[in-house]
Amino acid sequence: MQSTSQSAHIIVVYVTTFGSIRLATI
């Protein structure tokens, strides 16, 4: 359960970072 929570957190950080880079690119 803890592993799943950690994975979810990593996904959120990855999506946020990718979104920021995409906005910066545009």
pLDDT in tens, 5-18: 889 999 999 999 99
DSSP 1-26: -HHHHHHHHHHHHHHHHHHHHHHHH-
Number of structural domains (the chain) is 1
Residue range of the domain that includes 7: 1-26
The angle subtended at Cα 14 by Cα 5 and Cα 1, nearest 5°, is 10
pLDDT at 25: 82
Between 25 and 14, the higher pLDDT residue: 14
pLDDT at 21: 92
Chain centroid to CA 7: how far? 10
pLDDT at 23: 86
